[in-house]
Chain A
Amino acid sequence: MSKNAQNNAALKGHSLWSDAWIRLKKNHMAMISLVVLLIIGTLCFIIPAFSFIPDPNTQNLNNTFQDPSGNHLLGTDQSGRDLLARLLYGGQISLLVGLVATTVSVIIGLSYGAIAGYAGGKTDSIMMRIVDILYGLPFLVLVILFSLLISEHAKDLTESLINRWPDHEVVIKKLINLVPLFVAIGALGWLTMARVARAQVISLKKQEFVEAAVSLGLSHPKILLRHIIPNMLGPIIVYATLTVPGFVLTEATLSFLGLGVESPNSSWGILLSEGANYMETYPRLLIIPSITFSLTLFALNFLGDGLRDALDPKAAKD
């Protein structure tokens, strides 16, 4: 009886995912990163809902450059705005851009790469030449052009949305501001994902279980969606995790240059660029956002590395 139970226990929980989780748990840096990210995520998305965090955009010119105190835990900035509130709301935006743009790029890249790899032949080589050309283009040039282009159309969209739901004007304005960034970064960031997905499909489609599916007479879309794609999620998830920090950085770079999220709204890129103006007089305004931002990227990168080692032990270089 007890032997049977042991066998059950041994059989249970040995899927790819639970194996990966066991390996991930042994990776201290990755686990610390996971905890750090959970903390930062909780702080950014849950704490601002409570009323003791002031509005991040309300200026108070009698109250500028206040040192940290009971009223303002991290002090105030050059316009008397609460730095903690701006940091948390800015974090929401930066993290959202990273997550949404990654989702967009996974959807585009996965479909494109999977179709190219599955179709093979001429279709494949034409589709991949297009990817090669897009690869040659400077990413930021295109993102800037693209997001400026979309942002004009977004203005029309804003007006029609506000006309329809006048009560939600503030929320609509805040979110529409981000759409160009989401779309531009996601729409151009899928290239590597397409290559990863294509390579996976090519190696999977020659395997017996796919042959079995073909001989059973399943349709191509069904084979792709039900049999091939579920088997390649590991590498895709790993690459997606490593993409998030890249996109967060792109958002910050664009905002830093004045081409991303627009002031007075807050994002980590905006806080860094505003803080850089006061680095000699009030270094706090630069250092606090810098630490938060770098810590987040640090954790995301370490978690991505850890996931790669956990899901694909062969790729781990030690």
Chain B
Amino acid sequence: MLHTIISRLLQGIAVVFCLLLITFVLVRLMPGDPFSGEKAHSAHIIQKNKERFHLDQSYVRQFSVYLGFLARGEMGDSPVKEQPVTKIIKHSFPASLILGIAGISIAILIGIPAGILSALKKNSYIDYGTMVVAMAGISIPSFVIAPLLAGQVATRIPFLKIAGWGDPFDWILPAITLGLGTAAYLARITRGGMLEVLNQDYIRTAHAKGVRPLIVVTKHAIRGGIIPAIAYVGPAFAALITGSFIIETIFQIPGMGQHFVNATKDRDYFLLQGVVILFGTLIVFANLAADIALVMLNPRLRN
């Protein structure tokens, strides 16, 4: 087990390194540079700036300088925002993390019970209704739900604001918007997993022994039936954090998403690299956590 985790972590480092390398090259291949934006400087100042950020040197040299930064636990300075990248990330990551955790919690709390209920009442109106709602949740993108929620709900309930990120009440609408799509996927996956398990012999045996139906479901069926959903939750959590920039834009949340999009637009090489490293690491850890949880739930996967 420990061996597997360590080898997975090493693989993860390799994945993040590849991601960094790809980003590093792609963003530099793009025309323009961090200094060619709206505020036009004289050629002299641009040259000075490029020297300051080593941008006048070869890619190999730039990359080794950057790896040197990383080794010292730094990520360089953002040429556009003129701040250390680590500081920008420290300021914006908490909001993204809270939003991601709230979003995945809502997704789990709605999606998994809905999926279980749907599987238990297979081919009933409850099942059809849940699955049509789930399909709607998958088909209606967050940037459609978000403005509608903000415009139609937030304006009617006194303690909800259309946008902003002050007190925990402000977390509610963005988290719902973020979590709904994932909840819909989870419901469908849970239903599939539960149906698979409910048809198996050991469930029939448990019923035949006279175990109460509620206990059969809670003690026997859920353990196996929930496995595909758990496998999905890990990557989904990472996707919620890395993909929340639309919701951050609509609800004006000071998270990482805005930096990610703006850094790409502004050719802010160092900020983009920092965000990509963070997102890549998150994805690696989320996948690893999901795999560990799977092994714990499913004894057949052990050793």
Instruction: Enumerate chain A interface residues (CB-CB to B < 8 A).
Output: 132-133, 136-138, 140-142, 144-146, 148-149, 152, 245, 249, 252-253, 256-257, 259, 272-273, 275-276, 279-280, 283, 286-287, 290, 293-294, 297-298, 300-302, 305, 317-318
Q: Which of B14-22, B67-75, B83-91, B102-110 contacts A (4 or more CB under 8 A)?
A: B14-22
Q: Which residue on chain B has the smallest CB distance to residue A146? A: B26
Contact A301–B243 (Cβ < 8 Å)? no
Known A136-B283, A138-B283, A149-B30: A293·B147 in contact at CB below 8 Å: no
A55 CB to nearest chain B CB (Å): 26
Bound Cα distance from A253 to B287, whole angstroms:
25
Top-6 shortest CB links A-B: A297-B139, A298-B139, A276-B147, A279-B151, A136-B15, A145-B26
Contact B148–A138 (Cβ < 8 Å)? no
Residues of chain B with a CB closer than 8 A to A133's CB: 14-15, 18-19
Residues of chain B with a CB closer than 8 A to A286's CB: 144, 147-148, 151
Q: Which residue on chain B has the smallest CB distance to residue A299? A: B139
B279 at the interface (CB under 8 A from A): yes
B14-38: contact bitstring with A at CB < 8 Å (1 yes, 0 no)? 1110110011001101110000000
Residues of chain A with a CB closer than 8 A to B123's CB: 318
Q: Which residue on chain B has the smallest CB distance to residue A252? A: B141
Bound Cα distance from A280 to B150, whole angstroms:
10
Contact A257–B249 (Cβ < 8 Å)? yes
Number of chain B residues whose Cβ lies closer than 8 Å to a Cβ of chain A: 49
Contact B135–A301 (Cβ < 8 Å)? yes
Known A141-B276, A302-B135: A276·B192 in contact at CB below 8 Å: no
B62 at the interface (CB under 8 A from A): no
- Determine which of A140, A275, A287 lies in contact with B243 in the assembled complex, contact meaning CB atoms within 8 Å: A140
Bound Cα distance from A245 to B181, whole angstroms:
14
Known A294-B140, A298-B135: A152·B151 in contact at CB below 8 Å: no
B195 at the interface (CB under 8 A from A): yes
Q: Which residue on chain A has the smallest CB distance to residue B11? A: A132
B297 at the interface (CB under 8 A from A): no
- Determine which of B30, B155, B195 lies in contact with A317 in the assembled complex, contact meaning CB atoms within 8 Å: B195
B259-290: contact bitstring with A at CB < 8 Å (1 yes, 0 no)? 01100110000000000100110011001000
Residues of chain A with a CB closer than 8 A to B26's CB: 142, 145-146, 149
Query: Which chain B residues numbered 109 to 144 have a C-beta less than 8 Å away from chain A?
Result: 122-123, 135-136, 138-141, 143-144
Q: Which residue on chain B has the smallest CB distance to residue A253? A: B246
B56 at the interface (CB under 8 A from A): no
Listed A/B pairs (7) with beta-carbon separation below 8 Å: A141-B260, A145-B30, A257-B261, A272-B143, A286-B151, A301-B139, A317-B195
B196 CB to nearest chain A CB (Å): 7
Residues of chain A with a CB closer than 8 A to B15's CB: 132-133, 136
Known A136-B284, A293-B141: A141·B279 in contact at CB below 8 Å: yes
Residues of chain A with a CB closer than 8 A to B264's CB: 141, 144-145, 148, 259
Contact B243–A256 (Cβ < 8 Å)? no
Contact B29–A283 (Cβ < 8 Å)? no
| Extra pairs beyond A141-B264, A144-B261, A259-B261 (15, CB < 8 Å) | A136-B287, A137-B19, A138-B279, A138-B283, A141-B276, A141-B279, A145-B23, A252-B143, A253-B143, A272-B141, A272-B143, A290-B144, A298-B140, A317-B195, A318-B195
